[in-house]
Structure formats: structure tokens, C-alpha cells
Structure 1
Amino acid sequence: MDLSPAIATYLTAHNARDTERAIAWFTPDAEVVDEGHSHHGTDAIREWLGSAASEYTYTTELVSATRLDDERYDVVQHLEGDFPGGVVDLHYRFTLRGPAIARLVIEP
């Protein structure tokens, strides 16, 4: 799949629960929206990554990745774990600025 290095490395680091490696791919003013909550800036995103990684145990499988234009990608991941419902397909909607992630929206 044709993913930017930022997205590919972020996904690998996030799945490995390597917060520092994952956060390195965000712009300083980046925003992550997950479960209806916005996290602005790398400090808030670092906190979100740490809590998201520890709240539940789950496995992920990359289902698809679509490059929408030069800056936007839609990545679908299949998750199974001990979270409510146990199974979900989530869209990870990335917006890049240069080589880094400026925005990430995670939603069904």
C-alpha cells in the first residue's frame, strides 16, 4: 500500500506501543480527534497515545489504505480486543503537512 513514511512509521510505532517514536511524526501543532475528543499539540497527543495504549488490549490488522490527494490518506484498520463491542473497523484519516502528520481523525 502506498503510505507516506510518516503514516507507515506512526502505525508501526502505535501498534508496538512506542509512544515516543509515534509522536515524532506529528507537527508541533497537530490535532488528533478520537472518540469525539480533540487533542491539540504533541504534549496532549503523547498523553492520548499513552492512555489509549494502556486502556485496552487489542490486535490490529491493516485492511486498506487510500491516498485521497497529496496530503490526505484514509487508512482502515480492523481491531479486535477487550474494548466494548470487541470488534471494530476504524478509519484513520490522516492529513499531512510536509513530511509530518498535522491531523488525525479516528472514527468508524
Structure 2
Amino acid sequence: MTTTWDELPDTVTTFMTALDAREVDRVLATLTPDAVVTDEGHDYTSAEQIGTWVATAASEYTYTTTVTGASVTATGVVVGQHLEGDFPGGVADLHYRFTLADGGSISQVVIEP
């Protein structure tokens, strides 16, 4: 079911905005203790690994992001994001697939084209 940014769970919107700002503590606060984040085929499985990923992922590039859509599925939330910047290729469209635990915390995020 298609939804708007304002209708998404707070944990998802907080994760997305904190990730863009590289705010490690805010990202970690949205996750379950055993959460897994998968980006570019690599799994980050601890708070330390996820925190390092948040702080350093694409930090060598400057880019802007635009949310292109969002939907709620039977298993979680999917958010589309368009990026433009000085990274190789200059343009990317990503999908963030969130699995939510009871209580709304994020137990898994898969980021893929």
C-alpha cells in the first residue's frame, strides 16, 4: 500500500534523516539490539559495525537525496530514494527495505537499487 512520508513509522523517518546527517546515535536508537543493515551486499551486524557504516558510508561524496515513494508491505516498509551528487555515475535510485519488530523498532534494513 502506497503511503506518504508523514504516515511512515517514526523509526523509519528518523533512521532516514539521521543516516543522511550521519547521526550515529540517532540511527542506532531506531534499531533492535540484533538488527542487521545490508548495504552494497555487506551485512553490518553489531552496533559498532552499524555505527561505523553510518559515520563513513559515502562520506567522501557530496550528494542530495529525494524520497521518491514509500509503501507499507506485509513485512515492513519500503522507501525509495533518489540521489544526485559527485559519486561515480552521479545519479542513483535506491530502495530501503525495513523490517520492523514488535514495538516498531527496526530489525533489518536492506539497501539496494
TM-score, normalising length: structure 2: 0.88
Aligned equivalent of 2:87, options 76, 83, 87: 83
2:12 matched residue in structure 1: 7
Of all paired residues, the percent bearing the same amino acid is: 50
2:96 matched residue in structure 1: 92
Question: Is residue 12–residue 106 contact of structure 2 (8 Å, CA) maintained in 1?
Answer: yes
| Amino acid in the other structure paired with 1:85 | G
2:109 matched residue in structure 1: 104
1:74 matched residue in structure 2: 78
Aligned residues: 107
Name the Cα RMSD after superposition. 1.2
Aligned equivalent of 2:65, options 37, 43, 60: 60
TM-score, normalising length: structure 1: 0.92
Question: Is residue 17–residue 53 contact of structure 1 (8 Å, CA) maintained in 2?
Answer: no
Question: Is residue 78–residue 95 contact of structure 2 (8 Å, CA) maintained in 1?
Answer: yes
Q: 2: distance between equivalents of 1:40 and 1:55?
A: 23
5+ residue gaps in structure 1?
A: none
Structure 1 residue 53, shift from structure 2 partner: 5.0
